[in-house]
Amino acid sequence: MFKKIMVCLDGSDLAAQILPYAIEQASRFDSNIVLFRVFNESSLTSIGIPGFPAVPLETPGGPKQTQKEENESISYLKVVADRIQNERALKIECITKFGVPGQAIVQYASENGVDLITIATHGRSGLGRAIIGSVADYVVRQSGIPILLIRPIKIEKGKATRILDNSNMNA
């Protein structure tokens, strides 16, 4: 059913919580996994409104920092791929793209025959979501591709809590 599953990662522990779900789907459907990470020039910040793409605002920076971000993204994905391949015999591809995360995810998925996008939310709402934007929300609204979306569990001082809006409840 799903020949190519895209796993959206940003390097955070929260985003990585989508991995077991994506791996299970890939195992069941004998799918290829695309580990996908978007990096942007560290001199760029973005402001977004939920449901709309973020707008980059340029500040001083340089090509060396951009190259560093790309290298770190590639290294991170390779470590994740190695861990997965040690546990399961899956075909894994690592892709990094420069750009605005939501737009880059949707564009790559539509241009490369992705059958399922897997992504974790960060649980932001209200002003935090309006200022930072929501990559997951953008992908859900713009992709037209099936999406496996989870709200991850936040680990604090040995306690697992589920992120619900801006409050935490014990899991």
Average the pLDDT over each of 53-57, 116-120, 158-162 and give the range with the smallest value.
158-162
Structural domains in the chain, CATH included, are 4-170 (3.40.50.620)
φ and ψ of 158, to 5 deg? 80, -5
Q: What is the Cα–Cα distance from 6 to 96, expressed in whole angstroms?
A: 12
The mean predicted confidence, pLDDT, of the chain is 80
Task: Give the confidence band of 89 by pLDDT, cuts at 50, 70, 90.
Answer: confident
Express each pLDDT in 45-70 by its tens digit: 555 666 666 666 555 556 677 788 88
Give the per-residue pLDDT at 163: 43
Tokens representing residue 41 in the block? 């020039």
